[in-house]
Amino acid sequence: MRAHVKKTIYSLTGKLIIAIGTLMVVGSTIFWYFLIHFQEKELLRNSVKYGHSFVDFVEKSTRYGMLTFQQLLIQQTIEAIGSAEGIVKIRMFDGRGKIAYSSVKEEKGTMLGKNESVCMLCHSNSRKAVEMPSWSIKKDKDGYRILNLLQPIYNEPACYTSSCHVHSSGTAILGFTEADISLSLLDKAVKKQELAITAYVLGFICLLSVVLCTILWNLVSTPLSILTHGMERVAAGELDYTVKINTRDEMGELATAFNAMTFDLKKAKDELIEWGNTLEKKVEEKTEEIRKAQAKLIHSEKLASLGRMAAGVAHEINSPLTGIVTFGHLLLKKFPEGTQEREDVEVIIEQANRCSNIIKGLLGFARATSAEKSSININDIVNSSLNMVRHKADFFNIKIVLNFDESIPLIKADASQIQQVFLNMIINAADAMEGKGTFTVTTQKVDENGVPFVEVEFNDSGPGINEKDIPKLFEPFFTTKPVGKGTGLGLAVSHGIIQDHGGRIRVRSTLGKGTSFFVRLPFYEG
């Protein structure tokens, strides 16, 4: 609770309330002070005004008695008037300071002391007497104010021409009339009014404070709380969060700016994420390209090194093998049919021929001769390759399906090398199908990254190739055929030939459903 109060005090709303509240209290206090002071001053002015009227009334009431010199009448009149509520004392005294008449009987006939205000007024400055009437304020024993009024009795013609007593016409003032009027009722009324005004001012301040707090809370504190909450949500990562302040003041403008900021932040974050994803994808693509290029380079280097070694080995082994085969055939003539010696010699010749075939594969892999490219039709090469193997027993039970695109253009290639590749594909398919099934060849024009190619698909209905063996298919001496049925050089040689022609070979196989080899060769329109 204390922390909440402290937070409220030090908040913007709290500071505004304190500042405006202070101004209200100071302003109200100043207003209250001047209002009370003005009222007191106005009431005192009216009291003095009516007090002098009262003194005039006293003088007029005693005028007849003075002109006729009826002292008893004058005394009785003053006593009667002095007994009225609020009248403290009324007295008349002559110019020498003798009290002639008084509402207090005991004072009649006594002399005023020179220290009294009336005497000091006349004796200090005779002109003051001429400027009268005058008034002053004093207090009684209870602390209430008494209005003291002093008014001169001027020597009128009726006074110095009267038969009862004669005053010299040269005397300006015959005496003075003094009245003490209690202001206790007025003071009490003023105090009540002060209390009422104070209560009204305090009530007004309280009411205005409540209204001010409500207005500030709705116009400042609530929008600030909404903005603070919005900032906390955005800081937590909710960049799509928006504040709802539908006002046209500075708070509304601040909310609009805040929402625009969060929108820009969200947009920047999305762009950054997208850029990061794009960058990550590009890095992955470039990494894959580098990996493929590196693998291709390693493969090419392996093939080049193996080719050079194969060429040397084939050259060194081919001559002895030729001699073995030749002398094997000569030995066959010396042994009759059915003898063990003849069978042994036939085995030697068979194995020697197998070695010779391997040597021929090595020589083909080494490719000592360069390709002689010319304009060829892929469909014609496929047909000629199939015609070379149709008569073989392995193809008697194989259904051959041809899907040729007759509109494909001619390509620049070495016909004999391309035929060697196609023959290898056809023979491998027949071996995989074990002499039965469906073999489909499809030719078509394809586009790869804006580069046109002629594609030949060789599809068989064989058992398929294990997925883990597919990356190794084009490596030299790797084969999925049983021992003695393949050298593992056919696909490696085919891969090298197609690469030399600027093309590529890819494989797609599913166990139990067959295998497809795709050979792509570029062509150039023009």
- For the residues 263-285, what does the mean pLDDT come to? 80
Per-residue confidence band for 179, with pLDDT thresholds at 50, 70 and 90:
confident
pLDDT at 105: 81
Per residue in 345-391, pLDDT (tens digit) is 777 877 777 676 666 665 555 554 556 788 889 889 888 888 887 77
* pLDDT, greater one: 445 or 189: 445
Lowest-pLDDT range of 31-40, 320-329, 437-446, 470-479: 470-479
pLDDT at 318: 66
pLDDT at 458: 92
Per-residue confidence band for 299, with pLDDT thresholds at 50, 70 and 90:
low
- For the residues 83-93, what does the mean pLDDT come to? 85
Pair 507, 425: CB distance under 8 Å:
no
**HSE value, Cβ hemisphere, 13 Å, CA-based, for 512:** 0
Lowest-pLDDT range of 187-191, 215-219, 228-232, 285-289: 215-219
Pair 516, 507: CB distance under 8 Å:
yes
Tell me which residue of 427, 422, 349 sits closest to 394, measured CA to CA.
427
- For the residues 397-413, what does the mean pLDDT come to? 88
DSSP 3-state of 132 = coil
Cα maximum dimension of the chain:
210
pLDDT at 457: 92
Q: How far apart are CA 351 and CA 334, in angstroms?
A: 20
* pLDDT, greater one: 405 or 184: 405
Pair 509, 458: CB distance under 8 Å:
no
Pair 242, 256: CB distance under 8 Å:
no
Per residue in 415-469, pLDDT (tens digit) is 888 888 888 888 888 888 887 888 899 999 988 888 888 999 999 988 888 888 7
Per-residue confidence band for 518, with pLDDT thresholds at 50, 70 and 90:
very high
The burial class, CB within 10 Å (0-12 / 13-18 / 19+), for 359 is buried
* pLDDT, greater one: 7 or 16: 16
Tokens 């001429």 map to which residue? Answer: 130
pLDDT at 418: 87
Q: How far apart are CA 460 and CA 463, in angstroms?
A: 9
The burial class, CB within 10 Å (0-12 / 13-18 / 19+), for 474 is buried
DSSP 3-state of 391 = coil
pLDDT at 120: 60
Q: How far apart are CA 36 and CA 31, in angstroms?
A: 9
Q: Say if residue 82's pLDDT is above 70.
A: yes
CATH numbers and ranges of domains, the chain:
2-190 (3.30.450.20), 239-368 (no CATH), 370-522 (3.30.565.10)
Per residue in 145-155, pLDDT (tens digit) is 888 888 888 87
Pair 146, 140: CB distance under 8 Å:
yes
Q: Say if residue 327's pLDDT is above 80.
A: no
